[in-house]
Amino acid sequence: MSAEIIRSWLFVPGDSERKQIKGPQNPADALILDLEDSVADDRQEIAREMTREFLKSHTDRDRQRLYVRINPLDNPLSLADLIAVMPGAPDGIVLPKVYSAADVNTLAERLKVLECQHGIEEGATKICCVATETAASLTTFHTYLDNVSPRLTALTWGGEDLSAALGASTNRHPVTGEYDAPFQLARTLCLSTARAIGAQPVGVVYTDFRDNEGLRKECLYDLRSGYIGKIAIHPGQSEVINEAFTPSAEDIEFAQRVVDVFEQNPGTGTVGLDGKMLDMPHLKQARNVLAMAELAKARG
């Protein structure tokens, strides 16, 4: 797992002053200043400028990271977006509508040049990709397994743009109301690929932003599956997400006991605790829980 874990990632439209004022007051671990779908065509330039100025005036990022979602790489706007915002040294770039890991690597090369130009340490700008928004993306996950840039520290997925890409009129199953098969596949591939490369798998946005009980349930479902954190589109969602991805006192205590029992039995791959067998995956999971608890404490 990457060193940095971000629980809640709140989208803030890049051209909205009111929402940009609200962002830093929000408990989200990261803001994603958006230059893509939430910005109208005739507002692109103003959004870029506002986003750059926001980044420049918010340089203390300890509690809250600042990411920028640029336009997709096959849109010429994406390069202008990057050139405009890099003087503000964003902590990361969110890359939408990727076709394969090649897009991530292209972005990484551009970031390297712009970091050099602006005196930013090479590699400091991370990448979170929205890995399932094109039809091709469902068939190219294997490309992440060889030589993807280490800047790629998080993968998330999307069900809305994928519907359009697949020609689907809905992403829900007509009887159960759950995500339909292609979207379940997207969710599974995003998770397994992120885990395979040591990146953070980030849960999909929950679009019904007035339904925090539904959001809480979906966070717990994501957590059980292996996802960490979730994208938010409304400020009222961040706290629910933070809470769901912050281990409880009992979780922490149990994880500490698992780590302790392995430490007390050095060189042993399997131990017993409370009458149950524990092996390496349990130790790994316990360490994940403690890392998440540590992070939650640091973020407050």
Chain positions contacting ligand COA, by CB under 6 A: 10-13, 18-19, 22-23, 34, 37-38, 205, 209, 233-235
CB of 269 to ligand COA, least distance (A): 44
Q: Which residues contact 172 (CB under 8 A, 6 or more apart)?
A: 178, 179, 180
- Return the number of the residue (140 or 156) whose C-beta is nearest Mg ion: 156
Q: Which does 161 bind (CB under 5 to 8 A by kind): Mg ion, ligand COA, none?
A: Mg ion
CB of 18 to ligand COA, least distance (A): 4
Q: Which does 149 bind (CB under 5 to 8 A by kind): ligand COA, Mg ion, none?
A: none
Q: Is 49 in the site for Mg ion (CB under 5 A)?
A: no
Q: Which does 233 bind (CB under 5 to 8 A by kind): ligand COA, Mg ion, none?
A: ligand COA
CB of 25 to ligand COA, least distance (A): 9
90: nearest Cα among 112, 122, 58? 58
Q: Are 133 and 158 in contact (CB under 8 A)?
A: yes
CA distance 56 to 256: 40
- Return the number of the residue (73 or 293) whose C-beta is nearest ligand COA: 73
- Return the number of the residue (13 or 201) whose C-beta is nearest ligand COA: 13
Cβ of 159: how many Cβ atoms within 10 Å? 22
Per the listing, tokens 């409880």 go with 248
Number of residues interacting with Mg ion: please give it, by CB under 5 A: 2
- Return the number of the residue (89 or 232) whose C-beta is nearest ligand COA: 232
Q: What is the DSSP letter of 204?
A: P
Query: Which DSSP string corresponds to 212-235?
Result: HHHHHHHHHHHHHHT---EEESSG
For residues 244-253, one letter each, b for 16 or more C-beta atoms within 10 angstroms of the residue's C-beta and e for the rest, the string is bbbbeeeebe
CB of 219 to ligand COA, least distance (A): 17
Q: Is 161 in the site for Mg ion (CB under 5 A)?
A: yes
CA distance 198 to 48: 31
What tokens appear for 242 in the block?
């933070």
Binding site for Mg ion (CB under 5 A): 37, 161
